[in-house]
Amino acid sequence: MTTTAPDLDKLRELEDFTRRAWMIYNESVRDLEGDEYERVESDSWTELQRELRRLERRKASLTQNST
């Protein structure tokens, strides 16, 4: 597989977006407890998983186009 410089830049950008998604998730539940944690964590986890799947599809698209 050969990856071009622009593709490498896009892959790095996607990695940054992945880190940012995890950071947003962590911040959303950081200081919560009890019922509030349960309620917010579930919604935040669902959103995180949605974003990670979206980013993974973009990453797969880039790597497939490079082969």
Whether the CB-CB separation of 62 and 10 falls below 8 Å is answered with yes
For 4, residues 6+ apart whose C-beta sits below 8 A from its C-beta are 66
pTM (predicted TM-score): 0.81
* Strand ranges inside the chain, DSSP E: none
Please give the chain's pLDDT, 67 residues, in tens.
556 777 889 999 999 999 999 999 999 999 999 999 999 999 999 999 999 999 999 999 988 866 5
* C-alpha count within 13 angstroms, C-beta hemisphere, residue 43: 7
Alpha-carbon distances, residue 39 vs 2, 26, 27, 43, 48 (angstroms): 45, 14, 15, 7, 15
